[in-house]
Amino acid sequence: MPDAASPTSVPTGRAPQAQPWRLMGIAVSPMTYRRWLNFRANRRGYWALWIFLPIMLLSMAAEFIANDKPILVWYEGAPYVPVLFTYPETEFGGEFELEADYRDPFVQDLIDEQGWMLWPLIPFSYETVDFELDSPPPTAPDARHWLGTDDQGRDVAARVIYGLRLSILFGFALTVMSSIIGVVAGAVQGYFGGLIDLLAQRFIEIWQGLPFLFILIILSSVIVPGFFTLLFLLLLFSWTTLVGVVRAEFLRARNFDFIRASRALGVSDWGIMLKHVLPNAMVATLTFMPFILTGAITALTSLDFLGFGLPPGSPSLGELLQQGKANIQAPWLGMTGFFVLAALLTLLVFIGEAVRDAFDPRKLWSGSAPPPEESEPVTQAKPKPAPQGAE
């Protein structure tokens, strides 16, 4: 007989409460769970995400994959990590206080006498020039250089890995910054309207009509473009992408009844914008962001190809394509740059399509969502029959 104090023995008259919706062990709302199901239903985008994530993570650890410094050096019973820290040559019994050149046979012999070295998978960095080539560069792919070398004797595989990281980081940074500015500008225009909206729209029309490439060429003749300089210049002309979408969402939502009720209750304009209107506008914003990312990567690659991008020597996919154009006798340069860029953009486009399906309101509740995992069935109490003669 169950204990009288046990919860199972106390009739509450309520249906058992279902377990929360969980996604990878994290409690989420039913709408988020349905969006994940819609994203996963797009098989092309779902698998593109799982292919892109390892590529991105591997490129972030480029120093541990392609480097002209060992990952680990064990010398005289002590560990050294040259890939992260700088050690002088005297640390390993050398003669100079300068940084040790681990590719120098003299330094290698010193370390091998008292220890050993663990090299990366590709023993070349993106700027390492191989002076032991059998023929003048560019050289064809072989066992030493898997994708060959460029016209300066640098390993193409190493430059592709570092170039992928540079392109992804640049694209993410430009996407996030331009989205933040575009969302703020579109929210102010759409919510307040009137003269603010009118003047801002005219300014955006004039700003979008400026010749971006000519302005960039003029600025490149004055300053040397770097990562952050180029990011700032592209940000000046990319923030307008989301303004129209966010503005339309705020124009539509500002006259809803719950917005008027919030004003009547004394909620500030910025509070209404952040808590009530912005979540509705973020659906369209998140849908566009993967495509903004592809546009940012394409813009950086195009500028590098034209010679107005990153400084010479930077690991860039556009610079690799430019070398392929200048060295027709070395087809591996152009083919490597083309296939890597095409694969990267294809994966991002597929992911963007899946994100669009996940946030599409027409597909959000088009079917009945399956019950959450480990949920108990919720029973509904049957209505009591009306007594006879009650009519």
Q: Please write the tens of the pLDDT for every residue from 258-283.
A: 888 888 888 888 888 888 888 878 87
| pLDDT tens-place string over residues 94-118 | 888 888 999 989 999 999 998 999 9
Helices 43-60 and 331-358: crossing angle in degrees, nearest 10, is 130
Give residues with Cβ within 8 angstroms of 290, minimum separation 6. Answer: 348, 349, 351, 352, 355
Q: How many Å apart are CA 182 and CA 321, to the nearest integer?
A: 32
DSSP 8-class letter at 4? T
Q: How many Å apart are CA 193 and CA 204, to the nearest integer?
A: 15
Please indicate whether residue 71 or residue 369 has the higher confidence score (pLDDT): 71
Dihedral Cα 367, 368, 369, 371, nearest 10 deg: -160
Dihedrals φ, ψ of 28, to 5°?
-130, 165
E strand spans, 181-250: none
Pair 231, 170: CB distance under 8 Å: yes
Please indicate whether residue 70 or residue 308 has the higher confidence score (pLDDT): 70
| pLDDT tens-place string over residues 298-356 | 999 998 998 888 888 889 999 999 999 999 999 999 999 999 999 999 999 999 999 88
pTM for the structure as a whole: 0.82
Q: In this predicted structure, what is the pLDDT of residue 387?
A: 52
Q: Are β-strands 72-75 and 115-118 bridged in parallel, bridged antiparallel, or unpaired?
A: antiparallel
Question: Degrees (nearest 5) of the Cα angle 205, 206, 209?
Answer: 90
User: Which range is least confidently modeled, 17-21, 191-195, 254-258?
Assistant: 17-21
Q: In this predicted structure, what is the pLDDT of residue 223?
A: 81
Dihedral Cα 20, 22, 27, 28, nearest 10 deg: -90
Q: How many Å apart are CA 303 and CA 229, to the nearest integer?
A: 13
Pair 356, 45: CB distance under 8 Å: no
